[in-house]
């Protein structure tokens, strides 16, 4: 049985998927961009900085901070453990908002 | 943005005073290094100072004076307890603030800073927030026995409730930390809790957020969470938000870099109320 080389990313993917049934989910591992930073000295993890873009109806009617908190809650243990997630950039949109934004970009 | 300057000699003090125009508001912070509330006042003052653009000549000048090392100056201003704030203009004492209540300090300074001679180009300040002191009863000040007797500085019934005043730091409960944080997030209408300082950010996201605020000419106060681990860990719990930087507006959390970016992109009026109007 092979074990994953990206356990943290897998956790993010599976938890976000089951919690939000997203219509769109993208996870980017930006850890390599920050590995030389002082805060990362002594860290052996290759999964410390992530950018996660989620589109889901579950965010409807909620202000941005509330949406981010929903995601933080899902990943709380991964964020608080030593060597876990150090930074998490989030984009949390509803399908409607994603659509509007695409139209705006096309029109611009 | 302005900073607080430590004055160490009487000469330096007099020299600084005479170099300022009569219209400058001079804020004197009398402190002693061993009193805990003084550390709090220093933080509040540094944060406040950072929200005033540094002009030349300065419209507001912040000075910090060690009350024990410069007793003559302390006597001149009748300083009997620390921390003690004196607001001066043109040699006249406008107001004094005793204790480290952040809202009171900010209120006093902004009230007088706004009355500067130069009315044109002054920033519009948002309405003062009503701050109600925490309902929790202040514990009776205990004489520390160990090193110094601070009972002379204990708050009387007339003083407003302040954040951790007399307790030994080791006994500071979470409740007191949260009381302190409640004040801190209101130290300025727009507060940025970041890693490092705007002139020397210690993290890419903090640097980007500083840049974003500058681009939009937002006037804000900042707090370097790398310099205070209590605040760093406490604020995560207080805000129910695990990351920094954090932008707070009007005492409420707005979010981190990504949220602020989106707000600016989607809302042309975001933080317009807090912008520094361009002065010629």
Residues of chain A neighbouring B257 (CB-CB closer than 8 A)? 89
User: Within a domain: residue B143?
Assistant: no
Residues of chain B neighbouring A84 (CB-CB closer than 8 A)? none
User: Within a domain: residue B54?
Assistant: yes
Instruction: Mark out chain B residues that contact chain A at CB-CB < 8 A.
Output: 202-205, 240-243, 253-259, 262-263
Whole-number pLDDT of residue B135: 45
Would the ipTM clear 0.85, i.e. be above it?
no
Rounded to the nearest integer, the mean pLDDT of chain B is 79
Find the CATH number of the domain harbouring B54: 3.40.30.10
Cα–Cα distance for residue pair B226/B206, rounded to 1 Å: 12
Q: Is B241 in contact with A72 (Cβ distance < 8 A)?
A: yes
Same domain, B103 and B182: no
Q: How many other β-carbons are positioned within 10 Å of the β-carbon of residue B82?
A: 24
Same domain, B84 and B183: no
Among A39, A65, A79, beta carbon nearest to B255: A65
Strands B221-224 and B190-194: parallel
Q: Is A69 in contact with B240 (Cβ distance < 8 A)?
A: yes
Whole-number pLDDT of residue B219: 93
Cα–Cα distance for residue pair B247/B264, rounded to 1 Å: 13
Q: Is B255 in contact with A80 (Cβ distance < 8 A)?
A: no
Cα–Cα distance for residue pair B4/A108, rounded to 1 Å: 46
User: Within a domain: residue B154?
Assistant: no
Residues B99 and B37 sit within 8 Å (Cβ to Cβ):
yes
User: Within a domain: residue B271?
Assistant: yes
Residues B41 and B27 sit within 8 Å (Cβ to Cβ):
no
Range of the domain at B228: 174-279
Same domain, B109 and B178: no
Q: What is the pTM of this model?
A: 0.55
pLDDT tier at B166, thresholds 50, 70, 90: low
Domains and CATH numbers, chain A: 7-107 (3.30.300.90)
Which of B85, B113, B141 finishes a domain? B113
Same domain, B194 and B266: yes
Residue B221 parent element (H or E) = strand B221-224
User: Within a domain: residue B141?
Assistant: no
Whole-number pLDDT of residue B170: 47
Residue A56's Cβ-count burial label (10 Å; 0-12, 13-18, 19+) is: buried
Q: Is A68 in contact with B203 (Cβ distance < 8 A)?
A: no
Top pLDDT among A93 and A83 is at A93
Residues A38 and A72 sit within 8 Å (Cβ to Cβ):
no
Same domain, B189 and B261: yes
Q: How many other β-carbons are positioned within 10 Å of the β-carbon of residue B81?
A: 18
Cα distances from B120 to residues B57, B59, B115, B126, B279, in angstroms, run 15, 13, 11, 17, 8
Q: Which of B2, B140, B148 is nearest to B68 (CA)?
A: B148
User: Within a domain: residue B167?
Assistant: no
User: Within a domain: residue B169?
Assistant: no
Same domain, B9 and B109: yes
Number of structural domains chain B divides into: 2
Which of B113, B131, B156 finishes a domain? B113
Strands B84-89 and B92-98: antiparallel
Q: What are phi and psi of B202, to 5 degrees?
A: -105, 20
Same domain, B22 and B102: yes
User: Within a domain: residue B252?
Assistant: yes
Q: Is A39 in contact with B257 (Cβ distance < 8 A)?
A: no
Q: Is B259 in contact with A34 (Cβ distance < 8 A)?
A: no
Over residues B170-186, the mean pLDDT reads 83
Which of B113, B141, B161 finishes a domain? B113
Residues of chain B neighbouring A69 (CB-CB closer than 8 A)? 240-241
């Amino acid at each position: 049985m092979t074990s994953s080389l990206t356990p943290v990313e897998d956790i993010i993917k599976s938890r976000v998927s089951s919690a939000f049934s997203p219509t769109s989910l993208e996870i980017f591992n930006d850890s390599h961009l920050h590995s030389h930073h002082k805060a990362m000295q002594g860290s052996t993890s290759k999964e410390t900085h992530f950018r996660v873009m989620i589109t889901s109806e579950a965010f409807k009617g909620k202000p941005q901070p509330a949406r981010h908190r929903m995601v933080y809650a899902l990943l709380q243990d991964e964020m608080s453990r030593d060597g876990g997630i150090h930074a998490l950039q989030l984009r949390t949109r509803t399908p409607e908002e994603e659509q509007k934004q695409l139209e705006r970009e096309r029109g611009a | 943005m302005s900073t607080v300057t430590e004055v160490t000699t009487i000469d330096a003090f007099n020299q600084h005073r005479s170099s300022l125009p009569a219209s400058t508001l001079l804020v004197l912070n009398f402190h002693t290094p061993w009193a805990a509330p003084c550390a709090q006042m220093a933080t509040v003052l540094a944060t406040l100072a950072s929200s005033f653009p540094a002009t030349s000549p300065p419209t507001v000048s912040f000075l910090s004076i060690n009350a024990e090392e410069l007793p003559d100056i302390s006597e001149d201003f009748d300083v009997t307890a620390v921390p003690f704030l004196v607001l001066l203009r043109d040699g006249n004492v406008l107001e004094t603030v005793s204790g480290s209540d952040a809202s009171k300090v900010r209120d006093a300074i902004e009230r007088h800073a706004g009355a500067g001679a130069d009315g044109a180009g002054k920033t519009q300040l948002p309405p003062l927030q009503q701050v109600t002191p925490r309902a929790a009863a202040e514990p009776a000040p205990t004489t520390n026995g160990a090193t110094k007797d601070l009972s002379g500085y204990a708050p009387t019934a007339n003083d407003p409730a302040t954040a951790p005043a007399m307790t030994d730091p080791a006994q500071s409960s979470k409740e007191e930390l949260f009381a302190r944080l409640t004040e801190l997030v209101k130290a300025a209408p727009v507060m940025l809790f970041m890693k490092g300082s705007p002139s020397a950010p210690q993290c890419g996201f903090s640097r980007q957020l500083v840049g974003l605020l500058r681009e939009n000419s937002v006037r804000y106060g900042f707090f370097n969470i790398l310099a205070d681990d209590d605040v760093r860990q406490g604020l995560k719990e207080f805000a129910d938000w695990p990351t920094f930087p954090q932008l707070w507006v009007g005492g409420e959390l707005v979010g981190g870099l990504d949220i602020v970016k989106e707000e600016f992109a989607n809302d042309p009026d975001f933080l317009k109320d807090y912008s520094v109007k361009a002065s010629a």
